[in-house]
Chain A
Amino acid sequence: MKALLGWATAGGFVLAASLLLPPRPSAAQQSAPPEKATDAPQPAGDAVAPRAGERKSPSDAPGAGAQGGRGRSREGQASAGTVRTLRLPEFEPDLPEGKGRGTVVVVCGSCHSTRYITIQPPLSRETWAAEVTKMQKTFGAPVPPDKAGEILDYLVAVRGTPAK
């Protein structure tokens, strides 16, 4: 992955990304509500040494369990019992309406679930500003310079402490 990700500068990078890689399935496709009661927990070791042709239980689907997509064909060719895969479900929250929501969905949601916003307790504007700065400076978030204020306003609007 490092080799794959490491080669390009930002300009060619986004273009190549759009050409080479299929879009992820949308959250709606991946995140059907969890089914209770129907999926008995799997012993953790089961997936390690499946015999040829065996797959992890389909009861893990939807949104969980054996990998499809790119992994499937290679998995078929691999020697039995050597491949473990993980397909992650997503449970993106519905962000409240508000000015800046779309920017937040794009910019914040590009790296992490926007659930990171909705789970927070009410925080002061100062604390939220520090979070935005941390995402930019520490984690390298590509926040457009003219959009940081809009993001901050939205975060304060939906998870801010009352203004003093």
Chain B
Amino acid sequence: MMERTQGLGRRRFLALAAGAAGAAGSGLLPALARAAQSSGSRGAPAGGGAANAAAAGGGAAPQLVKFPEKTDLILITDRPPNLETPLRWFREDLTPNEAFYVRWHLGILPTRVDTAEFRLSVGGHVERPLSLSLDELRTKFAPVSVVAVNQCSGNSRRFFEPRIPGAQWGNGALGNARWTGVRLRDLLAKAGPKAGAVDVSFGGLDGPTLPAAPPDYAGTPDFAKSLPFDRANDGEVMVAYEMNGQPLPMLNGFPLRLVVPGWYATYWVKALNEINVLDISFDGFWVAKAYRVPKNAGVQESPKDLANETVPIGAMTVRSLFVRPEPGEAVAAGAPFEVQGLAMDSGKGIARVEVSTDGGKTWAGAKLDAEIGKYSWRRWRFNWTPPRGAHRLTARATNAAGEAQQTAQWNRSGYARNVIESVDVTVS
């Protein structure tokens, strides 16, 4: 048996009772609310605390928390868990599993996986539906590995202006890992897609927070994603059972995770247990309604003029970010300092990164480390011997297709950010 976070706990009972009471017009809610007030918050009287200070989004120190199998990560939300990787971990080319960011959408996530009982199903519009154990995946299909960046669609959301509601990620909703598993193409070949396959959909062990209970409750849309069949079958998309040579942490999708190199992490379905070939376009909420972006190269629109046409988010935009100096890091005047950062795109390859130490007036090329793989990020370094004073460092990346970072960008969901970034440094 697989288990998930408890779907019908005290809070949920109270809320549903409240919902029923409200609908029936009774006066039950206030009593329930009073009952919940004491159970819903943590100890101290309201009005203070780090949570509220950090909440303003205005420079308060991030709160670090420890979750199972994880080192200290930046707390975005606790239920469901959304945890950001602190910048210093990006000094390593491969992000350690314990430091890899965590992102779950809904309250029901897997809390217990029995690897002996777990099965991955491959079905739908196929000749031979499969039900594969983890052993079968490891022994009956050729293993493959790829180093690839996994970046949340909403990484860096907090830097958009005007601000956008949602998980207020800084730059740490990404990581780079070596993923090992089997080609999805090999699984599909074994199952034998029938003619006319259009999409392939993917589901995990997580579940909807509120189940549908017609006619009173519509329920929460279960998290499921899809890829166009040709993308799913391109030989690069992978069902991974290892991350950096180890099984995945539970919070990163143990025991299996879809790996879609070059595409945003929303497609990298965690705790993957269900694959279906479809002869029609997938119409699930998380593709048809959510994770959609304006249909233009810059992923741009304006609050006053929202794009009429949207498409599912897909390939990652080209971007770079600073790893050091970190904001507020002490830098000594007159001594050589290695400015360092990362650049990445959708797999076309980083062609160059330029750095400005004068706020964008003049630019010079940064030195690129050797390429690890086309879906990996690429580290860049820039030697700088700064004079005393306040400086603004800026970095911009361009890929092999000539795609460059933008000077401004906004979209309603705060996705695919690739604005040229700066870091302010005080040298003393």
Tell whether, in the assembled complex, residue A105 and residue B40 are in contact, meaning their CB atoms are under 8 Å apart: yes
CB-contact partner of A93 in B9, B51, B247, under 8 A: B51
The reply to whether the CB of A163 lies closer than 8 angstroms to some CB of chain B is no
A111: chain B residues at CB < 8 Å are 12, 15, 107, 209-210, 220
The reply to whether the CB of B231 lies closer than 8 angstroms to some CB of chain A is no
C-alpha gap A97/B44 in the complex (Å) = 12
The reply to whether the CB of A54 lies closer than 8 angstroms to some CB of chain B is no
Tell whether, in the assembled complex, residue B113 and residue A84 are in contact, meaning their CB atoms are under 8 Å apart: yes
CB-contact partner of A83 in B15, B115, B168, B211, under 8 A: B115
Chain B interface residues (CB < 8 Å from chain A): 1-23, 29-30, 32-34, 36-37, 39-49, 51-52, 54-57, 63-72, 75-81, 96-99, 107-117, 158, 163, 165, 167-168, 207-214, 216-221, 243-244, 246-251, 254-255, 285, 289
Tell whether, in the assembled complex, residue B213 and residue A1 are in contact, meaning their CB atoms are under 8 Å apart: no
CB-contact partner of B40 in A11, A27, A141, under 8 A: A27
Sample of 24 A–B contacts (CB below 8 Å):
A10-B213, A20-B8, A21-B6, A24-B6, A31-B78, A34-B64, A34-B72, A36-B64, A36-B72, A41-B98, A74-B1, A82-B114, A84-B112, A84-B250, A88-B68, A88-B79, A94-B43, A94-B45, A103-B33, A106-B33, A120-B165, A139-B220, A142-B18, A144-B29
A146: chain B residues at CB < 8 Å are 22
The reply to whether the CB of A153 lies closer than 8 angstroms to some CB of chain B is no
Most chain B CB within 10 A, of A11, A45, A90, A95, is at A45
B218: chain A residues at CB < 8 Å are 137, 140
C-alpha gap A8/B64 in the complex (Å) = 40
CB-contact partner of B23 in A64, A78, A101, A145, under 8 A: A145
CB-contact partner of B246 in A28, A45, A78, A81, under 8 A: A45
Chain A interface residues (CB < 8 Å from chain B): 1-2, 4-6, 8-11, 13-14, 17-18, 20-21, 23-24, 26-28, 31, 34-36, 39, 41-45, 47-48, 56, 60, 64-65, 67, 70-71, 74, 78-79, 81-97, 101-103, 105-107, 109-116, 118-123, 127, 131, 137-147, 159
